[in-house]
Every structure is written in structure tokens, then in C-alpha cells.
Chains A and B, each alone.
Chain A
Amino acid sequence: MSTGALTRPVSPTRDVLDNGVVVLTHESTATPSVAVNATFYCGSANDPPDLPGVAYLTRRTIDRGTSLRSAADVAETLDDRGVSLRVSASRHTLTISCVCLSEDFGEILSLIADIARRPVFPAEEIEKRRIEAVTSLREDQDDPSKVARDLLLGILYGAAHPYGRTVKGTVESLGSITRRDLVEFHARYMVPSALRVAIVGHVAAGAAVTSAARSFDEWRQPVSPDEPIAPPVLHDLRTVRTAVMPGKSQADICYGFTTIRRVDPRYYAYWMMNNVLGQFGLGGRLADNIRERQGMAYYAYSSFDATVGEGPLIIRAGVDPANVTRTIGAIDDEVRALGADGPTRREFEDTRDSLIGALPRMLETNESIAEFIQYTEQFGLGLDFDRRLPSCLGAVSMDDVREAAREVLDPLRAAVAVAGPRE
């Protein structure tokens, strides 16, 4: 068994400012650069149910001007330093992040703080970004892999659940979001107590915290409301839905189940179960069957996304339209077999060793360390999680993995979505 020994463990410092902003820092001199990752605990799950897309349009507009700088000034500050700012929104997070040269760190952190605290959402910027958002959504509607995924999430969670709606909203909802909706979303959810700032790279931890305190300390806002995620309604029956997309060459299959929350103690067993099913060796048992033995697909794999709520396990394959039925049959076979018998001893050991051994690789770049620290913070995993992870995985038994598979993997309860040309 691999020990996953880290000669350079991640030892972040964690400081809480008076207003609740948490600053996480880790110093690394590997490259003369710094990764900054400012994550707010809000996202599309906080969209008004009748107005999906507010978090997404906020993410597209937030860096287009603050009360201190115009949109052009923001762009100038970034471009002059070769910095590309990423703003991303998921169901539960809205993140502003970038990598900059160490020499530019102070200026860039100050800019990110300004964007986070004082966006003005200029009306003309909202209109331009709205058109971009609609264009991006229409591109998704022309992409069978995205159509199949959205269809599947709709089956699994239903439109009433935040996971059943798309992050980007709809053409109609994007058209009716107003500036006031964005301002209110920011004021309500993007507040100091919901912000975690990770700073990783060639800057001394003390100096990084001092800079963060200077940028964020005076900011005062009420604590954001707690909006718990309801568990999804479990399905007893298999559901199959199809979206016909004329003119496409390949059909995309999405096949899945709802699972557990990230904080569930069964998480590690589920993770290993998914790795056996659709990850290990570039696609696990699924790829071995569908790609290697039957030559039907370039990709066949599964992903497991336990998060704040009960996230999905999704199996995906892109195949010739003539092979859709055969591929779904092959997925049924693999799901049924793993659900009934669990992994073999060798699969269990290979998976465990691979997940433990992968840790140093996951913590190689400043950006990836910042993301890892944010992840451990979000789910309360502790500052020493990189050192504890091997024992978390090592404590899982083969029976635990078998039980995880038995709980989830049942073809009779599967949700199946297919998007592509007619078979």
C-alpha cells in the first residue's frame, strides 16, 4: 500500500478577521507567483426558484466596475500584469480567482477585494453580459452532452430542487433578471462571513494575512441567511427521457442516481466505489466494457459529486446513435454487477492505493493547493486534511465499498437521459 508521504505537506495558516472573513495562507517558493482564490459560500442554489441564473449573471457582471474603479480600470490593472481573472459560479460557491506574479500580489489582492466588496453592476454592462449569457446558454442547448446532463438532473431532482435547475438559468429568466436582483444577491449572500480567501505561493504568510486584513477588515455586512438544501425525493422506478437533436453525429448518454452529502461518513466508501465503477484506469469497469471490450465509445466513465446536499453519481458515454440501446445495456450490466457483488480484492486495493498515492500530484501547483484548502475549509475537514486523508481511505473496508455500491447501484431505479439524433 502506498503511504502517500508528503515531503511538503500543506500547512495553511487560518486567520479569522473581525468581520468573519477567513484568510487561509500557505507559503511556497516553487515559482515566483501567487494564487489568490476568494470563495463566497453562495451560488445557484441561492437563486430565487422562479428566477434561475441570478448567481450566474452576477458572476458574469461582478468584475465590470466598482465604486472605486471603472470596468476599464479593472481590465487595465489585470492586463498590465498579464493576469486573467476567473469568476466562476457553482451551486454553492462563487469564486474570484487568479494567479499573479509575486511582485503584483498586493495590487491584485486589493483589486479582488474591491470587486468582491463594491461591485456597481452598471446597467450597460448587465445588458452586454446578458447577451453573452444567453449565447452561452444557447450553445449548451446545441451540445448533446450538456442537454443530456440537464435532462438527467431534471429527472433526479425535479424543477423544485436547486440541483434540478441549470446554473445558467433559462433564456426567459436571463431576460428578466434586473440590476436590482444582482445588487440584492450581492448584498444578501456575498458578505464577509461567507467569504474564504486562500492565498498560496511566494508570499510570506504573515504579509499575506496583513494584506488581506487591510483589504477586507473594515467591510461590515449582516450574516447571510442559512438556506438548507432539502434531500431529493428518491425514485423507486427507472425513468428514461430522450432529447432528439437532429443533425448531430453522436448520442450522449447520462445515467445516474442521487447519492449522499460530502459530510456523510460513508463518503470515502462511495468515492472508492465510484473509482472502481468509472474512474480507475481511465474509466473503470464502464470503460473496460464499453470502450475496451466493445469499442463503442471514446469516453465512458462516471463521476461522483457529493456536496452540500445529496449530489449525483453520473455515468456518461458518447456513442454512435445505433449503439445507444446496447450501451445502456452494458451500463446496466456493470451497475448491476458492482451493486450486487462489490469490488474484487484487487480492485479495492488498487483503487485505495491510487487515491492515496495521487495526493502529492493534486497538491503540486499553487492554484491546486488553493482549491484544496478551500475544499477542506468548506466541508470542515481540518487544516491537516492532506495528512489525514490516507487514514480516512485506509479505514474503509471492502465491505464498506460493497455496501455503498449496494445502496446506490440499482438499474431498476436509474435515471437515464439520452440526447442525440434519432436512433
Chain B
Amino acid sequence: MLANGLTVLVQEIHTAPLVSVWCWYRVGSGDEPPGLTGVSHWVEHMNFKGTEQISRDQMKGIVEKLGGMWNGYTWIDQTTYLETASSAAVDTLLFLEAQRMSSSLFEPEECESERTVVISELQGAENDPDQVLDLEVTATALRVHPYGHPTIGWLHDLQSMTRADLYGHYQRHYMPANATLVIVGDVDTDDVLRRVDKYFGSIPAAEVRRYQRPAEPPQIGERRVVLERGGTTAYLELAFPAPAVSESGFVPLLALDAVLSGAKGVSLWSAFRGTPPQRKARLYTALVEDGLAASVSGVLLPTRDPFIYSLSFTAADGVPLEVLEDAALSAIERVAAQGVTEAEAARARRQLRARLVFENDSVTSIAHQLGYFDTVAGPGYLEQLECRIAMVTAEQMGQAARQALGASTRTVGWSTPARRGR
């Protein structure tokens, strides 16, 4: 850690002449007060619009002309910026991230221009009924905790937020003590740490002023959302309260999800690529093989606070949602009542072990996992994960099913083409 509080993680991998640099900030849409929903994501956009020493136009090409790729994303616990490029470019990447941490400009006209870009991003997502349903289900399942509002924000907040709101959020959260810098690839640790100190060492220390996140009160009854917005296809989503990554119930629920919908691993970055179905998964067998659903997917991601475990289904053409829901719930109630078999538990452990290997296939992916877990779970967790997965038992998975999949804590969402009615 640098004297100003910046956490630095370095891993040497010399198989290719590449380096991946990620700068993580412990701020996401879970850290936004009412009226400022979407501010973290909009700030992320503004951090590509120029700094004191890198103009907006230079910023777009500075990494690419070196053959590198760059991007960023914002989610509920984190905002992150990444570049992967030739290891010879490491100074440029560190300079860029140090600039972003300390001296982004937030020019007023750029803030205005970006307002409509962000609103366009929101409207693009509204074109997808599956995403709209997920947004509504999440907001229904979480009524108090700020995880309940969409990361992109509510439209009214995006229309009314000011440049002062954006810059204030940046100043409050972008500081060394709230960040983790991850460097993975063809570098020498001592050498690269000297370079980090050169670019980041002079950024002043500042105290992190985090908003207190309100806790979600226990859910005491089933909640239901029904959307009738036209379109061609019906979707079902079931959401259940899920433990935070640091809670003992997280790994058993992860393994239970492998039994129910197939193992996905624990990388949000790899999840962007999508995983083809695993057909022995219970819900796949019960719903897709029986012709009720065209697809089924489960999502449980590591988060700092308790979030949701969601199961999403695309109804096969012509199948009414009540039929699909009945079949899905009876499969879920069965696992809650009867648990999982030893054979299923063993398969889930094997699948997750393979996933951990597959999702660490590049310097970019490895750097993502180091930074992501440092942000949501703190140091040391990722190293223990393989061991925790190897030790999870059928008994613990059954207990996770009983605790997590209850009828009184679920949120059920329907998105149905209006023409079919209910």
C-alpha cells in the first residue's frame, strides 16, 4: 500500500508480452443517495472525457494506438477502469489512471453532452423486455437498500442531475484510499511498484466519506411484478434474497445454483461472454428438456452486502407463464424440501473447480478477479475460494436451499406480450 492509502496488487505472468492494469474504486450504485441514482455510472463516463494533462480527444486513442484495449464498468459495489496492452506501454497506462484519479475535468458542456448519451444507453436497455423485467424485479425485491435501483439510474435523476452533483461525487470517492490498483502481466514487481509510486505517490491522501447504506428489512411475503408491454416473447424471473460474499452461506448457494441452473463461476467479466447451458442442471432438465422454456439461467454474483439470487426463464413459444411458473416453483420447492444428492454436490464442485480455471485464462481476466474480490470481499478471499468450494457439502447446499428459496421471501416477475393476456 502506498503512503497515501492506495492499495496495489501485482501479479507477474510472463507467458505473453502483455500487461493488464485495472483501477478499482469502492463506489457503485449501492453508494448513491436518493435523487442521485446513476451518478456513479455517469461519473465513469466523464472520466473518459479528458483530464488536466490528457485532452478528451487524446484519451480515446492513447491506449489504442499502442495496440491496447480499454474500457470501464460500473456496478453496485464498484467502478473500474481497465487497459490491456503491450507491457512496454505500462507507463502510459499508469499515467492515464493516475490522471483519472486526480484530475478529471468534468467540463460543463461535456457533462451536458454525456447526459443524452447516458439516457440513450438507458433507452437502449428499455428495448429489451428481459432487461426491463430484471430491473423491475430487482427494484421490487429490494425496497430500501440502494442495490434496488438500476446502476444506470432512474430517468428523472438523469434529467435533473447537475455538473456539481457529478463533480461532487467524483471528489468524494476518487481518492487513493478508496481505490485498488491491479497490475497483472509481463512486469517485474519491484520495477512496476517504483513506477506506481512515480505516478500515484504524489496524489494527496484524503479521507473516504462513504454514505451509510440502509439495510434491507426482512421480506415477509411473496412480491409479484407483472409487465404487459407487447413484444413477442414471455419471460419469467424469480428472485430470492442472497447472502453477501463474506457470509458463510454464499459458497453453498453458489454450489446450489450449479445444481439448479449450471455452474457459471464467479467472474462478472467472464459472464459477459455468456455460458452455454449445462443440461443436467435440474431446472434445465425440468423446464427446457420438457419443452416449457427455451432457456434458463441463474445469477448469483459476489457482492459486499446481501443482494439477490435470480433465476430467469424464457417461455417456449406458446407456453403460458402460469404453467412455466408452476413447473419452476415445484422444482425449487423440491430442492428446498429434499436437498441435493451427494452425486449432484460432487458434480457441482467439479464444475466450479473447472470454471475457476476457465475464467482465469488471460491477464485481463486474472486482473479483474483480483480487483473485484479485493473490492467486495477484501484481501485474501479469492485465494481461499477454491478451497471453500472443494469443501462445500450436500448438507450445506440443502441448507442453503431451505434458507434462500422460501415462498415468503421470493419475488416473482412476469413479462408477457399483451396480446396473450393472462
- Chain A interface (Cβ within 8 Å of chain B)? 2, 4-8, 28-33, 71, 75-76, 78-86, 99-101, 127-128, 131-132, 134-136, 138-139, 141-145, 246-250, 252, 280-282, 288, 291-299, 318-320, 349-350, 353-361, 363-367
Contact = CB atoms under 8 A, between A and B. Distances in A.
Nearest to A79: B280
B161 interface: no
B232 A319 contact: no
B123 A250 contact: yes
Nearest to B49: A292
A76 B278 CA distance: 9
Given A79-B347, A298-B124, A349-B65, 12 more contacts: A2-B66, A33-B361, A76-B280, A84-B275, A99-B361, A101-B357, A132-B288, A135-B316, A135-B317, A139-B314, A350-B64, A357-B68
A249 B123 contact: yes
B281 A79 contact: yes
B65 A86 contact: no
A299 B118 CA distance: 10
Interface stretch (B108-116, B162-170, B331-339, B405-413): B108-116
A361 B18 contact: yes
Interface string B120-157: 11011011110000000000000000000000000000
B355 A82 contact: yes
A247 B229 contact: yes
Interface of B: 15-18, 56, 60-61, 64-69, 84-86, 112-121, 123-124, 126-129, 229-233, 262-263, 275-281, 288-289, 291, 294-295, 314-318, 347, 350-355, 357-358, 360-364
A248 B291 CA distance: 29
B294 A360 contact: no
Contact of B113 (A282, A293, A349, A356): A293
Nearest to B119: A320
B233 A135 contact: yes
A299 to B, nearest CB: 8
Given A135-B314, A247-B231, A365-B362, A32 B66 contact: no
Contacts of B281: 79
A80 B294 contact: no
Contacts of B278: 75, 78-79, 84
Contacts of A31: 357, 360-361
Contact of B127 (A75, A83, A144): A144
A80 B127 contact: no
A138 B316 contact: no
**Top 6 nearest A-B pairs by Cβ distance?**
A357-B67, A82-B354, A281-B60, A75-B279, A82-B351, A295-B113
A288 B56 CA distance: 11
Given A31-B361, A144-B127, A298-B121, A6 B64 contact: no
B56 A360 contact: no
Contacts of A297: 117, 120
B68 A361 contact: yes
Contacts of A349: 65
24 contacts: A6-B17, A78-B278, A79-B280, A85-B276, A100-B354, A101-B354, A131-B291, A136-B294, A139-B232, A141-B232, A142-B233, A247-B230, A249-B124, A249-B126, A250-B127, A291-B117, A294-B113, A296-B116, A297-B117, A298-B124, A349-B65, A357-B65, A364-B362, A365-B362
Contact of B347 (A80, A131, A134, A145): A80
B279 A79 contact: yes
Nearest to A356: B67
A354 B65 contact: yes
B120 A350 contact: no
Contact of B317 (A99, A131, A295, A356): A131
Contacts of B17: 5-8, 360
Contact of B230 (A71, A246, A360): A246
B370 to A, nearest CB: 16
A32 B357 CA distance: 7
Contacts of B361: 30-31, 33, 99, 364-367
Nearest to A357: B67
Nearest to B113: A295
B9 to A, nearest CB: 20
B213 to A, nearest CB: 28
A5 B86 CA distance: 9
Contacts of A319: 120
A366 B354 CA distance: 15
Contact of A2 (B86, B276, B289, B353): B86
Contacts of B363: 364
A85 B278 CA distance: 9
A250 B126 contact: yes
Contact of B15 (A30, A128, A142, A247): A30
Given A136-B294, A298-B120, A360 B360 contact: no
Most buried by B among A29, A132, A299: A132
Contacts of A101: 354, 357
A252 B66 CA distance: 32
Contacts of B66: 2, 353-354, 357
Contacts of B231: 142, 247
Contacts of B127: 143-145, 248-250, 252, 318
B113 A292 contact: yes
A110 B357 CA distance: 22
Nearest to A74: B279
Contacts of B112: 295
B233 A8 contact: no
A282 B60 contact: yes
A398 B85 CA distance: 25
A219 to B, nearest CB: 25
A8 B15 contact: yes
Contacts of A79: 262, 278-281, 347, 351
A288 B347 CA distance: 49
Nearest to A248: B127
A297 B123 CA distance: 10
Contact of A8 (B16, B123, B263, B279): B16
B126 to A, nearest CB: 4
A227 B94 CA distance: 53
Contacts of A320: 116, 119-120, 123
Nearest to A247: B230
A81 B350 contact: yes
A135 B16 contact: no
A143 B132 CA distance: 13
Nearest to B64: A354
